[in-house]
Every structure is written in C-alpha cells, then in structure tokens.
Structure 1
C-alpha cells in the first residue's frame, strides 16, 4: 500500500491549527503535509518495518541516555519544518538547548523545528526517489546529520 497524496489547495487552505486538529481527530491515521500544502496519508507499516523502526529508535534513545545532550522522538512526532512542511521522521533527535528554546505550547503541538538528526527507513510502501526527496528536504531545512 502506497501513501496517498491529496491536493486540497483548491478547496481549503488548511491552517496549522486545523491540521493539528485533523491529526488529533484521526489518531489511527498518519498524516504529513508538504510545503505546498498537499496532505499525505501514510499507510500503516507492517510488522517487519515496525520492528526495524522500534529497534532504531531504541538504539538512538540508548545513545542519547549515555550523553544526555538531546531529546529523541519516534515516528509519532510531527515537526513543522521551516519551509512549512509537516513531517514525521521514523526516528529523530534534537539538541537539548534547541528543544528547551521552544515554548510549552510549541512542544505540545507539532514543534516548529527541524530535528538535528533524522532517520527515514525505506519501507515497502516507500519509493527510493520519494525518500531521497524527503531527506533532501530535511537537509534544506537544517538537519545536520
């Protein structure tokens, strides 16, 4: 099953608050949004992909516990990137001082920050081209690693 991209631009310009509410009202679905406002509905992962995801997130969390320099996130966290896109990397990490600079409200919704480090697994529903484009978007928005 592939991700479904819906262009709602001609019908509605969804605000950040409306997008957040859409995600909260449909917790069983995973959404992302491109910088152009296209809504991406992500399919659920299979068992193998979910297991790899959990393993990578666990390894990142263990590494971070050793140095205590940042915050680790799994794929359930959506970030508002500087270019306007809303993305949920499979695993990510943000330096503690950058995370602490956000307000409590920003931390509770979709944090307006690009992680310092992201991992995107290539699952059966992903194309290499789309994943490479997503990684380039992260780099363009400030990912360091």
Structure 2
C-alpha cells in the first residue's frame, strides 16, 4: 500500500495549528504535508521494515548519546521545513545548538527547522521516485547529509548539499562524514 495523498485545499487550507491538532487527534495515523499543502497519509510498515528502521534508529541514538553534539529523532518526529512542507524522516539528527535555540514550546511541537541529517529507509510500500523527490526536498531545504537506503536492491543513495547524488552498491557501512563525526552505520543489521 502506497501513501495516500489528499488535497483538502478546495474545502479548507489547514493552518499549522490545525495540522498539528489533526496529527495529535489521530496518533495512530502518520501524516505528512507537502509544500502545496496536500496531506500525505503514510501507511504503517510491515514487521521486517519496522525492525530494520528500529535498528537504524538504535545505532543513531546510541552514537548520539555518546557524542552529545546533537539530538537524534525517530520517524514520529515532524519537521516544518523552510519551504512549508512538514516531513517525518525515518531517522534524523539536529545539532545541539540549533535544538537549544528553540523555545521549550517549539521543542514540543513539530520542529520549525530542517534536520542536519536524515535517513529514509525504503520500505516495500514506498515509491522510489517519490522518496528520491523527498530526499531532494530535504537537501534543497538545508539538510547537509541524507541517506536513502534501498534494502531490496542493497543500494544507498547519499545526498549532500551542492553535490550530485552518490550511489553505493551493497556497502558494509556508512560514515557520518563531517556532519556526524565518528558515526558509522553498520548495514549488516539493516540488509
């Protein structure tokens, strides 16, 4: 089942507060909102994808706890990107000084900033083309490093600001480069 896109704009254009309330009132449904204001209803993933996504987050959170230079987030975190879209990457990380610059209220809502780093793990219900567009959107909105992990093809697409997408075939691990110094994602647990 692919994501469902619903356009309510002919009936109502949701404010940020209304969108937040919609998401809060429906905690079992995962919503995103694209730059044109269309709602994207994300289907739940199967057990295998959920496990692999958990393993990705586990590694990122473990590193983040030791490194202390930033805050890691899971797929239930919403980010209000500069272009107006609200997105929830499978895993993400924000530099501590950017997190600390938010007010306590902003920290409890959809975060009004772009992550410094994102991971999208392609699940069987995801469209590769749609997810690639999402990765480009992250990059054009300030995300410094992004990984699109395609388990089926055992490929990783690496997105960096100002650079062409790099594609790796069947890598063993991925480096956080200078964005997440010292972070290495072991892909054995993900493939």
Distance in 2 of aligned mates of 1:140 and 1:47? 32
**Number of corresponding residues:** 145
How far does residue 66 in structure 1 lie from its aligned partner after superposition? 2.2
TM-score normalized with structure 2 length: 0.75
Distance in 1 of aligned mates of 2:66 and 2:109? 28
Distance in 1 of aligned mates of 2:42 and 2:107? 23
Q: Which residue of 2 aligns with 1:114?
A: 114
Secondary structure of the corresponding residue to residue 121 of structure 1: strand
Distance in 2 of aligned mates of 1:100 and 1:40? 29
Distance in 1 of aligned mates of 2:67 and 2:21? 35
Q: Tell me, which stretches of 5 or more residues in structure 2 are unaligned?
A: 146-191
CA RMSD of aligned residues (A): 0.6
How far does residue 68 in structure 1 lie from its aligned partner after superposition? 0.7
Runs of 4+ aligned residues of structure 1 deviating over 2 Å after TM superposition are none
**Rg: which structure is higher?**
2
Q: Tell me, which stretches of 5 or more residues in structure 1 are unaligned?
A: none
| Structure ranking higher in helix proportion | 1
Q: Which residue of 1 aligns with 2:98?
A: 98
Q: Deviations over 1:74-116 (max 9, x none)?
A: 0010111100000000000000000000111111110101000
How far does residue 64 in structure 1 lie from its aligned partner after superposition? 1.2
Q: How does 1:120-131 map to 2 (within 5 A)?
A: 120-131=120-131
